[in-house]
Amino acid sequence: MSGTTLPRPSRSSIAPPTGPLPSLPVAKTRHSNMGIAPRSSSPSTSLLPSPVVATRTLSSSALPYRYRPGSKHANSPSVLTLTPDDAHGGALPPGRTLRKTVSIGAFPQPPRHIGKSSPSSPLSSSSMPGGDVVDRRLSSVSKASVPSRTNSLKKPRTSNVGGARGLLPRSPLSPPSFLNGSADSVAVDTSHLSLPSPPQSRNSSPQGSYATSATTFEDVGEDDARARTENKGGSSPLPKDGKGNVLVSVRVRPDVGVMDSKQEMEWAVDNKHALISYKGREGGDYTYDNVFDTQDNNARVYDAAAKRLVRRVMEGYHGTVFAYGMTGTGKTFSMQGTATNPGVIPLAITDIFSYIRETPHREFLLRVSYLEIYNEKINDLLAGPIAGLNGQPGPQEEIKLREDSKRGVYATPLKEEIVQSPTQLLRVIARGDNARRVAGTQFNARSSRSHAVVQIVVESRERAPAPTGNLAGNKRSAIVPGGVRVSTLSLIDLAGSEKAADNKERRTEGSHINKSLLTLGTVIGRLSSDKEKAEKDKGSKDKHLPYRDSKLTRLLQPALSGNSLVSILCTIQIGASGSSALANSHTGETINTLKFASRAKNNIVSHAKKAEESMGAGGDAAGRALLDRYRLEIQDLKKQLEESKGKETREEEEEDELKRDLEEEKTREIADKQRHEEQMLEMQLARTALKERIEHLNRLILSSKSLGVNNGRSFSSMSFQRGSVLGNHIDMRPSSLRSSTSHATLEVPGQHNSPTPVQADGSEEDDSVGENGDGSASQGVQIQSLQADLADKNRYIATLEKRLLHARRSSHSRISMTLSHKLGGTSEDGGLIAAIAERDSEISNLRAQLEDKERMIAALTSARKKSETAQDVGSDGSPSSHRTSSYNRSETSSVSLVVRGPGSPTSSKPFLPPAGNVAGKNIEEMTRMLDEMIGTRVDKARRTSLMPVSEGR
Ligand SMILES: Nc1ncnc2c1ncn2[C@@H]1O[C@H](COP(=O)(O)OP(=O)(O)OP(=O)(O)O)[C@@H](O)[C@H]1O
């Protein structure tokens, strides 16, 4: 219990808590206190099955962090730690409830017994089994007949080491109550009233209604409705006027010392009947909604005095709990508690989160603020130190109290923290506690020098169904159904009234404290007269309530003026550790406190209503409702997210499309390139073929020319020489053909016919004539050369045919490819087709030429045969006869020699030798015609073949 630091949680503080909750640290420590002894059984308790309450004890392992040493109650030995063994020798009597050891963290479990009829707290319901209504304002007579735990105060002191001293039983002769002294009493069996609410009731409200004398309860909650249902046939658990919005309780602090017998005789505390009696001067009976004796722990105090109110706050009411009393009487102890005995604040926090868990159909937002009123100045306990000059903490911004119709009176600017878990909330409050002013006084080593106000704002709204479809739709649809309900729970630990202190600072503080408490008393006192006045003089505005005389009353104005459910816990101390002076002083203060409590009980009228649900984003309350703002913001952000997602998707799609386009273009480019390359190759092939053909045709042209050139010379020389030398020798050898053949043969690759050297001086004639000396050899040579020429042309034709085939194939593939890409042909394709057609016609021409040549060869062969025959005849007769017969034969044979050709119109005419040198002329004519024919065809072929080449270029 003496740790000095809070161990850091291993996880982020933002994360929801998973472990047990930390205990609420208390900012003050009192060393002077003695522990409260376990309640020992007494004859009265054995007769009356009053509850044995074992105070919750926490194993240190269950605590997330050690209780702070600085805490006010950290080392308090006065914690009541009754165990079943202590109380009953190890066995719990039947019907008694044991409060188990429990940590705060164990509290927020969903209730399992909601709706079950658990035993009502005596303080929470005036209903009795059987429907009896209890009027707690018991007369002294009736009280005498009621077994009371008052008797327990007379228990032997030996069992009360350092604890509460037994109080004197209330005298049956004691005067009537200060407030309700003459109240009628109903003798009832109140034994069940002493049952505390069972542990499982921690998360539900086991309480029925409670009644005070001057309150109206305007909205009956679930518990009340349930209580009514359960009491059908009996009297209503609620008074007809529905009282119960203001609850006043008195708690008696155990005395540290031993009470003297006089004190014991003077005071009687009857917690069962919520009665405190004083038999001294100014004595009387004081009856309240709850009276807690020295043995009641914080849980019991909370259950009876605050639990229901907290639940109502969660349902939408404003609620205020405040502790009032003399210094050192246990206000802070009751509000904050200790690690093992958590007070109203931590227990309320636990219940708040339990309620949220129990209510799945609503969503909640909690924010908390923590302020203190110190010397009439408001400090924000959550703001943290403000950095000032030289590293010193600077002054805080002045916090003022403002008022508006919706929020009532509120402090501003005040830091509010949104909390999501009990741990977080407890930590925030612990932080505020640390900042609170505490100092040692005569009566309290760690006395609170300020009034401290924890405000928990609860925003709640019906949970919207899961959004379907259009998020971008109407904003209102995001927050339907219903609006946001905002309610506030104020938990106030007042500073204690005190006598003048020695220390000046304490005196100043004390005077502020006393002044504000006095104002509070005055306001509450006047509430009564105000009420009476209002009743007498309805509508009168002449009522002055000095709320503004102190910050405390100003802040409490909404609660005191009836807008809030109120629970006031007044703490008193009866004993004074044997000091009669102190005891006298205490008695005076105690009586003052009791009077204050009575006045409060009697005068405060609450007509608290459930906060209205604010709709929409407009208006003050809605402006305040963070739940709405956050929900709208969430919707906006979701919308933005969706939009950005849509945008992203669109961009991605566009990008994909672009990529696809690029890829397609790339593929197209590759295909185009391939096609182009193929075309180039084809063109190259075609060009090569055409070039070869041109070369070949050029060779042919050269041959024809050379034939033409040689023709005149050779033929003339040949014929004239032959004519002159041989006379009647018919030399039909076309020397041009021979020489042409020779040239052609030389130029055609692979042609290895023996070349005949051409001599410029015509000496070739010798060779040609010289074979046989009669021209027959020349004819043979002619035939040979023609045959060679023929073979040459045949080869050329074969080559052409091959190339043509290849060109056709490639052009077919190209045409089909072109057609697949484009409909309709191009001029280039047309040109190719035309070229093919031309080549075809060229081939057929060449074939025709070949046929002509074959015919010519046949004619020449027959001519040679005839000349041989003529020679045979000539050897027997005259040369003339030989020539004549030869002529005749040759004439006969020459009839079949028909030369056809486009360039020779006379080609169809019979080839007749002219008169005179017939044979020579005949050959000459034939050769000329042949030359013409070949020349014409070659020209034509060259023209047609050159065209695509030149076009291609
Ligand atoms: N019911 C109780 N049981 C045990 N100890 C108690 C009880 N009430 C008070 N005490 C002890 O009495 C001491 C003073 O109590 P506390 O500080 O709560 O008084 P206070 O009313 O807040 O005083 P102040 O007005 O000066 O702040 C503390 O040490 C606390 O532990």
603-624: average pLDDT: 64
**What pTM does this model have?**
0.50
Report which of residues 122 and 323 the model is more confident about.
Answer: 323
The pLDDT value recorded for residue 781 is 72
Give the pLDDT band (50/70/90) at residue 528: low
Q: By alpha-carbon position, which residue is closest to atom 28 of ligand 1?
A: 30
757-786: average pLDDT: 52
* Residue 4 annotated in ligand binding: no
Residue whose CB lies within 8 A of the most ligand 1 atoms, among 24, 67, 71, 78, for a mutation test: 78
78 lines ligand 1 (CB under 6 A): yes
Distance, in Å, from the CA atom of 796 to the CA atom of 257, rounded to the nearest integer, reads 143
Of 50, 55, 151, 54, the C-alpha closest to 93 is 50
Indicate if the pLDDT at residue 269 is higher than 60: yes
562: left (phi over 0), alpha (psi -120 to 50) or beta: left
Q: By alpha-carbon position, which residue is closest to atom 4 of ligand 1?
A: 78
Most confident of 152-166, 289-303, 748-762: 289-303
Q: Output the CA 328–ligand 1 centroid distance in Å.
A: 5
Q: Output the CA 292–ligand 1 centroid distance in Å.
A: 14
Give the pLDDT band (50/70/90) at residue 896: very low
Burial of 268 (0-12, 13-18, 19+ CB in 10 A): buried
Helix (H, G, I), strand (E, B) or coil at 560: helix
Indicate if the pLDDT at residue 755 is higher than 80: no
Q: Both tokens of residue 508?
A: 């100043």
The pLDDT value recorded for residue 351 is 95
Residue whose CB lies within 8 A of the most ligand 1 atoms, among 253, 441, 513, for a mutation test: 253
Indicate the average pLDDT of the chain: 63
> Which atom of ligand 1 is found nearest the CA of 335?
18
The pLDDT value recorded for residue 289 is 92
**pLDDT tens-digit profile of 307-352?**
999 999 999 999 999 999 988 889 999 999 999 999 999 999 999 9
Distance, in Å, from the CA atom of 686 to the CA atom of 694, rounded to the nearest integer, reads 12
> Which atom of ligand 1 is found nearest the CA of 73?
31
In the sheet that 275-278 helps form, which strands lie side by side, from edge to edge?
A: 267-270, 275-278, 284-287
Is there a contact between 114 and 241 (Cβ–Cβ < 8 Å)? no
Q: How far is CA 88 from the centre of its chain?
A: 59
* Residue 325 annotated in ligand binding: yes
Q: Which residues of 850-876 are buried (b: 16+ CB within 10 A; e: fewer)?
A: eebbeebbebbebbbebbeebbeebee
Report which of residues 450 and 346 the model is more confident about.
Answer: 346
Q: By alpha-carbon position, which residue is closest to atom 11 of ligand 1?
A: 330
Distance, in Å, from the CA atom of 353 to the CA atom of 358, rounded to the nearest integer, reads 9
**pLDDT tens-digit profile of 272-313?**
888 898 887 777 888 999 999 888 999 999 999 999 999 999
181-195: average pLDDT: 30
**pLDDT tens-digit profile of 839-891?**
888 888 888 888 888 887 888 888 778 777 776 655 554 444 444 444 444 44
328 lines ligand 1 (CB under 6 A): yes
| Low-confidence winner among 235-249, 302-316, 492-506, 644-658 (lowest mean pLDDT) | 235-249
Angle (CA) 248 252 258, round 5°:
170
36 lines ligand 1 (CB under 6 A): yes
Q: Output the CA 555–ligand 1 centroid distance in Å.
A: 24
